[in-house]
Amino acid sequence: MFILGMIMYSLAEYATHRFIFHLKPPKNAFLLKILKRLHYDHHTNPNELHLLFLPLWYSVPNIAISGAIFYFLSSSFVMTNAFIAGIMLFLLFYEWKHYIAHRPLQPISPWGRWMKKVHLWHHFKNENYWYGVTNPAYDFLMGTFKDQKDVDQSKTAKNLEKRGDQKIEL
């Protein structure tokens, strides 16, 4: 169940990043404020330390809800704890990889250096590609991994709020 928790977080990393954090700006001021804190402001100021990490008011309820759903399905306290532990470990791994991607640190492995480069393409080349922070698997599966030479420079990569009138195509 621990591994399942890690896999579920990995999937949530991609799906949340692509389908929620990159929504067109909502007209509702409260929802816009939430999206700005969760992600839009991070694209505007990608190296701002306090914007690198997911806020606890977002992460803790998501972990609790995931755990409650898993417990409802499994009826096992032990398996639920293993599942939640997998989620939490992968969340910490995600936060570490995201931190490394935006700080003046050199990852020690070729894989880490490559993932950092790919994540920075998402911020500085085109925000419609390369959503994976910890791995590119879902980008490959969903068609959002491209050779950066084949992708046009986006005018809104550093300002997601300006995407409101833009038709987004992949």
29 Cβ neighbours under 8 A, 6+ residues apart: none
Distance CA 110, CA 112 (A): 5
Per-residue model confidence (pLDDT) at position 37: 97
pLDDT tens across 35-51, in order?
999 999 999 999 999 99
> What's the number of domains the chain is made of?
1
Q: Which domain holds residue 12?
A: 2-160
**Does position 169 have pLDDT exceeding 80, yes or no?**
no
Would 48 be classed as within a structural domain?
yes
CB 95 within 8 A of CB 49: no
Residue 128: is its pLDDT beyond 50? yes
What's the pLDDT at 165? Answer: 56
Examine residue 116 and state whether it is found in any structural domain, yes or no.
yes
pLDDT at 12 over 80: yes
Identify whether 170 is part of a domain. no
Average pLDDT value over all residues in the chain: 94
Q: Look up the pTM and report it.
A: 0.91
